[in-house]
Structure 1
Amino acid sequence: MDIEKWPHLSTENTLVFVLVCSLVCSGATHQDETNGVSRTYVTEGEDAVLHCSSVERLENTVVDWENQNKKEACLYDRGQHCEDRRDNQDEQYKGRASLFYDELKNGNASLILNNTRIEDTGTYTCILPLLSSGIQRSTVELIVGVSRTYVKEGEDAVLHCSSVESLKNMVVDWKNQNKEVFLYDRGWHYENGLCCQDEQYGGRVSLFYDELKNGNASLILNDTRIEDTGIYTCDLSSGRQIFTMELIVGAVQAPVLEISNVSEAGVELQCVVRGSSSKPSVEWQTCEGTSLNSEEPLVSETRGRYDTTLLVTVTETKTNCFRCVVKQEDIYHRIDDNIIVSEKLFEKKSSHDTQSSHNTQSSHSTDVLGGMFSAGVFTLVLLLLAVVLVLFFTRRRSRLKMRKLKEKMMNVISSNKRKGDRGGEAHAQ
């Protein structure tokens, strides 16, 4: 990286730049540097996005992308785009490299590399030299055209390599980084006396010897181990053809999906991931990619292997298609599977809800009728009581009248009798 690329650096930033360079060159690690290297895999011809970001706005700063050979992939300088500075850009990247210019204000400095080629494979560094906090660097490894083979630990793996020519009298050399995996040299190989195989692979690798005449140089690796994970190269005839591929051991197989329950809340789905060598992240989504709120995963361990179960309750969507996504970040592995829920299950749920509503309404109606009946009975009792009281008091009043009338009559009779008695006495005299 050359400071002359940024002629408008302030004195303060220049001093920071020199200080950081001195720390890096002396082997120290500056606190603003991003530790770790992420990897991006693409098939040749696909577009690649190499991620880089900052918490600061970047539209008025410098963003510089270089590959491991210091070749300029893209340089953005305060409004001048990569495409505007082609004199600085390496010929390999002209017309194919750019940034998300509209996202610079949000701190997004990711590089877009279109129509990738095998020679684009390598390590890229994103350099942000004008941040208020100092220089920030992040590194991304781009691997173009590398096929990946995933196996569970303990399974056998086949790494493919082939030629249009017969290889029976050729040299086939398989390596993992700097480790010698398997060497076939015109009939001689590690299984019949050839020396110097890395002990990690002793007794576990071979070729399809009968297929060499047909150009098949594929490697058979038995009883795979976690440490077998890595980038393998197949070199045919001392560099005439070289194939690169990645073996990933310990990858989980596709998750097992099933419907576990149907309730008033919806349809409950279950995703089970078995035999993972590390704890994977598991997530339920719609098939359109929307994340779903699910319960906490249930994880159990048996002899270093993890089984994970994740439940989610879903309601009806346009497609009724749901996906369980499993990621193993430590080995860059992602696998998923889909399940489609029948509309009838949601209809069953709706029918259940309707029946519950009907039962509630019926219960309510019964309660109302019961209340009305009780109220009617109570009113009737009151009326009967009133009638009884009226009759009672009417009868009592009648009895009082009769008693008074009788007393009056008796008084009249008694009075008449006394008068008669007095009249008789007067006559006798």
Structure 2
Amino acid sequence: MASIGQIIFWSMIVLIFVIAGIIILLLAIAFSVSQGSVVTNTPFPVGNLGKDVMLGCKFQTKTGQISSSVSITWQKDGLTGVVYQFQNNAGHLQDQNPQFKNRVTLFPDVITTGNASLLLRTVRMEDEGVYRCSVTASGVTGSASIRLRVGAFSAPNITRSENNSLAANAPRWLPKPDVTWLDLNGSQLNSSTQFSTLTMGIVQVTSNLQVQVTDGIYTCIIQNALVTALSTATVTGNGVSTTTDFTFNSSPNIMKSHVISTSFILFCMLVR
């Protein structure tokens, strides 16, 4: 049986460890608050080949006040040099990787509002990868990572065919997508789809609905692992009006299957 002295001794040891843990926790919280924050609202953006894409990055100081002495550095994992560097109210591109020459820019007019976003022009396949936005200023030090994925996607042109059905033509998709047609109730309709391979593996999508249509609403879904294009075709008389909404896979590990659920489609149709 332990003596009173041993009990007191071990109680003191435990108390010391508890107090030390609380102090470390408080210091960590204080340090994180004092350093402000650097965040992104779009950690997995999708770039459309040949188009521009925005890599979002925002920062906030502990006081909410941002001075003009802000240093912003964009880097890409696996590449030497910088993507873009901003210091002393100007770009410093001496160490810029040649891949990004004349293709990237920040927005100096909004940096003092906490916006360090990067515009990447004319996206290429080799631009895919992890980018890091690092910000250093009075009251903030930190970084955020963004994984850019690159593909090709386009809205389909939906027309009424000679056999009183519908045909959808989308000029550019990569990776190769799946195509599904639904009626107003979310029931899948018979269709046939052809793919014509263009440059860089991009395919042109031509899909024909194999049922005769009447006045009403039909939905064409073109979807790959990166992007879903949900097109609503409203048939009235001989005319067809189309609206398309794009949604992007929010994480590389989500939607491994290209088949979208009927319940999800119905939800999207209801909230339009």
Q: Do they superpose with TM above 0.5?
A: yes
Q: CA deviation at 1:147?
A: 4.8
| Distance in 2 separating the partners of 1:286 and 1:175 | 47
Show structure 2 runs of 5+ residues with no match.
1-39, 239-272
Question: Which of 39, 45, 69 is equivalent to 1:169?
Answer: 69
- The structure richer in helix per residue is 1
Q: Name the counterpart of 2:153.
A: 252
Residue 236 of structure 1: SS of its match in structure 2? strand
What is the Cα deviation at residue 169 of structure 1? 1.0
1:222 maps to 121
Count of residues in Structure 1 that have an aligned counterpart in Structure 2 = 190
Structure 1 segments unaligned to the other structure (5+ residues): 1-143, 346-429
- Aligned partner of 1:275 in structure 2 is 172
User: Helix, strand or coil: the match of 1:214?
Assistant: coil
Which of 178, 182, 185 is the equivalent residue of 2:87? 185
**SS of the residue aligned with 1:240?**
strand
Give deviations 1:114-134, integer Å, cap 9, x for gaps.
xxxxxxxxxxxxxxxxxxxxx
Higher relative contact order (CA 8 A, sep 6+): 2
Q: Which amino acid aligns with 2:179?
A: V
Q: In the alignment, what sits opposite 2:218?
A: 322
Equivalent position amino acid for 2:53 in 1:
A
Select which of 293, 299, 303 maps to 2:199.
Answer: 303
In the alignment, the residues of structure 2 paired with residue 161 and residue 237 of structure 1 have an alpha-carbon distance, to the nearest angstrom, of 13
Distance 2:196 2:216 in 1: 30
1:385-424 superposed matches below 5 A: none
- In 2 relative to 1, CA 247–290 (structure 1 residues): closer, same or farther, beyond 3 Å? farther
* Residues 211 and 287 of structure 1: CA distance in aligned 2, closer, same or farther (over 3 Å): same
- For 2:121 and 2:159, how far apart are their aligned partners in 1? 33
The structure richer in strand per residue is 2
AA aligned opposite 2:102: G
Q: Does the alignment pair 1:235 with 2:235? A: no
Match for residue 182 of structure 2 among 263, 274, 285: 285
Distance apart, 1:161 and its partner CA: 2.3
Q: Give the match for residue 99 of structure 2.
A: 200
Partner Cα separation in structure 2 for residue 246 and residue 232 of structure 1: 6
Structure with higher Rg: it is: 1
Report the Cα distance in structure 2 between the residues aligned to 1:314 and 1:246, rounded to whole angstroms. 42
Is 2:203 aligned against 1:336? no
Q: Deviations over 1:288-316 (max 9, x none)?
A: 44322112x22223334421100003356
Contact 1:160 1:219 (C-alpha < 8 Å) held by counterparts: yes
Task: Confirm or deny: 8 A CA contact 1:254 1:273 kept in the other structure.
Answer: yes
Separation of aligned partners in 1, 2:222 and 2:179: 5
- 1:337 deviates by 1.0
Shift of 1:206: 1.9
* Alpha-carbon RMSD: 3.1
Return structure 1 stretches of 4+ with deviation > 6 angstroms.
Answer: none
2:133 & 2:235 partners in 1: Cα distance?
Answer: 46
Distance 1:225 1:328 in 2: 18
1:173-228, CA deviations, whole angstroms, 9 ceiling, x for partnerless residues? 2233354422223346443x3x2x33432332221223323333121212210121
Give the superposition deviation at 1:146. 3.6
Q: Which amino acid in the other structure matches residue 209 of structure 1?
A: P
**Partner amino acid, structure 2, of 1:159:** L
| Alpha-carbon distance in 2 for matches of 1:198, 1:288 | 52
Read off the aligned partner of 2:70 and give its amino acid letter.
M
The one-letter amino acid paired with 1:253 is S
**Secondary structure at the counterpart of residue 86 of structure 2:** strand
Amino acid at match of 2:151: G
Structure 1 position 246, deviation (Å): 4.0
Shift of 1:274: 0.7
Q: Deviations over 1:220-240 (max 9, x none)?
A: 212210121234332222873
Of 32, 37, 46 in structure 2, the residue corresponding to residue 150 of structure 1 is 46
Cα 1:324/1:147, change in 2 over 3 Å: farther
User: Structure 1 CA distance, aligned partners of 2:44 and 2:157?
Assistant: 23
